[in-house]
Amino acid sequence: MAIAEKEQALIDDFSIYDDWMAKYEYIIELGKDLPQIDNALKTPDREIKGCQSKVWLNAELKDGKVVYTADSDAIITKGIIALLIQVMSNESPDDIVEAKLNFIKEIGLQEHLSPTRSNGLVAMIKQMKLDALALKMTA
Amino acid sequence: MIKAAFDIKEIRQQFPILQEKVGDYPLVYFDNGASSQKPKIVIDRIKHYYDHENANIHRGVHHLSQISTDNYEIARKQVQLFIGAEHEHEIIFTSGTTEGINLVAQSFCKNLVKGDEIIITEMEHHSNIVPWQMKAEEYGLVLKYIPLLANGELDWGKLDELLTSRTKILSFTHISNSLGTINPAKEIIAKAHANGTKVLLDAAQSLQHTPINVKDLDCDFMVFSGHKVFGPTGVGVLYGKEDMLNAMPPYKGGGDMIKSVTMERTEYNELPFKFEAGTPNIVGGIGLGTALKWLSSLDYEQVQKHEAELLDYATKQLLEIDGARIYGESENKCSILSFLIEGIHPYDIGTLLNQQGIAVRTGHHCTQPVMEFFGIPGTIRASFSLYNTKEEVDLFIAALKKATNMLK
């Protein structure tokens, strides 16, 4: 499935929740379900700066596609990373770099997009794209 | 002055923003430690300035410039009276507490020599740490600190050990922004003075809760911000004793701070203008004067009683929540409630409280050493002001319970 299609699937998923509680309960579930990452991968160079919570992101190239794994010590942050991974993992570096990621606004998470010091969604997306670019160069 | 009885309903009506809604929820504003809301009288004063008085000050002979200048200088007088300073020219308008501390660090340290010592504390806001570290590095000064204790108080018993014949200045916060602890300022200042050490008092968290009289405290410098005392953002005050300020060189050059300029040299202006280079935040100063005048109309004793009741009420309810732990347990504490719920990241709680209209601050509150001391990533901080109510505390506790249930 292309990135845009996966974004649409998430928009559809979220459209059934009409209040903030249900939406956040879903994000919290996604956070809890995100596969654990190896503690050895939680190194300073994999830590995304600019988040109030700690976030670690690992990117690897498998058969020309970027595969992301991640973790955070805050569960809502982890849920939001899970959404990003759902959309961007297993895609080509070029597609990832070009991704518009309109779904964030569409599902009502735009408050996490403001470039303030309290949240790191912008920093997360930037790092995912940079990692994809770096993997493309070394491929 | 006769003070009006403390009527919470009447006070809340003076703050238009308290009627705001966040989504479907009424706003509960518990982020007063970061910035206070503004009473209508301050908002109206700012509008009046732009509608009727706006011009640059200290220069023009024209009507508006004179009105502006007069009102700006009246504001300086209002600040002087509010904090009990000896002279008007001991009041320097700044952009806020941070600039005040930077000004003193820059100008005071210029007269120091390698090996001279500065004392700060482990509970300081970054703005009372970093400027001193920068100067210590630049001039080879020694920076020491009073350590924290587990209850959120400072280990002031260590002060005698740290003070030496080379200790030139002690800079500490009156009230901790992340723990709420009130430091025994008068006693500490007297101790420092007995050693010949000058004192800067960071009062950023003070005047909104408690009166300060600089002559009574005898501090050499005192700094605070307008936006935390019901005034506008971008303005603050540095109070300094006349002889201290006269002995210090200016740290910013520009217009208004000069007596005469030739292409070879400059003769500096007198106090307070020596430290106020460039066009100041005129409307900010006037708005701050109005805010302090408004604050003077209230009875601090009643304000403190109200805030103490809120803190007590919130503390008791919070501690009934499973896994709640409060950071900052001094008996001498103002209405700042910093806490964590075991096993839950503060950011998660803050996010879900925001969804329910509750404004709190989460994170390290610009006091990373405090967080490191307790071994935590940050706290959730609810800070109450005079316009907050028990009903709002109830909404906060209910929202907190909902959030913790969702996150467990």
Tell me: the pLDDT tens digits for B93-131? 999 999 999 999 999 999 999 999 999 999 999 999 999
User: Which of A28, A52, A76 is opposite residue B363, by nearest beta carbon?
Assistant: A52
- Selected for mutation to probe chain A from B21, B22, B351 (highest A CB count within 10 Å) is B351
Structure confidence by residue, pLDDT tens digits, B203-220 = 999 999 999 999 999 999
Can you give the pLDDT at residue B4?
Answer: 72
A123 touches chain B (CB under 8 A): no
Can you give the pLDDT at residue A50?
Answer: 67
Can you give the pLDDT at residue A112?
Answer: 64
Domain ranges of chain B: 8-30+299-407, 43-296
B8-30+299-407 and B43-296 share one fold = no
Q: Give, as one character, the DSSP assignment of residue A44.
A: G
What share of chain B has pLDDT > 90, as a percent? 93
B408 touches chain A (CB under 8 A): no
Can you give the pLDDT at residue A116?
Answer: 56
**Residue B86 Cα to chain centre, angstroms:** 21
Closest CA to B146 of B370, B335, B326: B370
Structure confidence by residue, pLDDT tens digits, B89-102 = 999 999 999 999 99
Residue B385 corresponds to which tokens in the numbers above?
Answer: 């002001």
Which positions ≥6 away from B249 have C-beta within 8 Å? B107, B110, B268
Contacts of A73 in chain B (CB under 8 A): 345, 377
Can you give the pLDDT at residue B108?
Answer: 98
- What is the average per-residue pLDDT within B260-275? 92
Can you give the pLDDT at residue A119?
Answer: 59
B2: pLDDT strictly greater than 70:
no
B221: pLDDT strictly greater than 90:
yes
What CATH number labels B43-296? 3.40.640.10
The chain-wide mean pLDDT, for chain B, equals: 96
Closest residue on chain A to B23 (Cα)? A20
Least confident of A49-58, B154-163, B281-290, B374-383: A49-58
Position B61 confidence tier, pLDDT thresholds 50, 70, 90:
confident
- What is the number of CB-based contacts under 8 A between chain A and chain B? 44
**CB B406 to CB A21 under 8 A?**
yes
**CB B406 to CB A76 under 8 A?**
no
- What is the average per-residue pLDDT within B404-408? 94
Q: What angle do CA B57, B60, B66 make, to 5 degrees?
A: 60
Can you give the pLDDT at residue A115?
Answer: 53
User: Catalytic pick from A3, A48, A51, A135?
Assistant: A51
ipTM (interface pTM): 0.89
Contacts of B378 in chain A (CB under 8 A): 52
Whether residue A109 lies in the annotated active site: no
Nearest-angstrom CA–CA distance, B311 and B322: 19
Spell out the domains of chain A, with CATH numbers in brackets.
Answer: 3-138 (3.90.1010.10)
For each successive 10 residues of chain A (139 residues), what is the average pLDDT? 92 89 92 91 86 88 95 92 95 95 84 59 89 89
Can you give the pLDDT at residue A117?
Answer: 47
In terms of C-beta density within 10 A (0-12 exposed, 13-18 middle, 19 or more buried), how is residue B381 classed?
buried
**CB B407 to CB A54 under 8 A?**
no
Residue A47 corresponds to which tokens in the numbers above?
Answer: 């830590």
User: Which of B347, B378, B406 is opposite residue A77, by nearest beta carbon?
Assistant: B347
B355 touches chain A (CB under 8 A): yes
Nearest-angstrom CA–CA distance, B107 and B87: 20
Nearest-angstrom CA–CA distance, B155 and B18: 39
Structure confidence by residue, pLDDT tens digits, B368-391 = 999 999 999 999 999 999 999 999
Residue A138 C-alpha, separation from nearest chain B C-alpha, in angstroms? 36
User: Which of B345, B351, B363 is opposite residue A73, by nearest beta carbon?
Assistant: B345
CATH 3.90.1150.10 correct for B8-30+299-407: yes
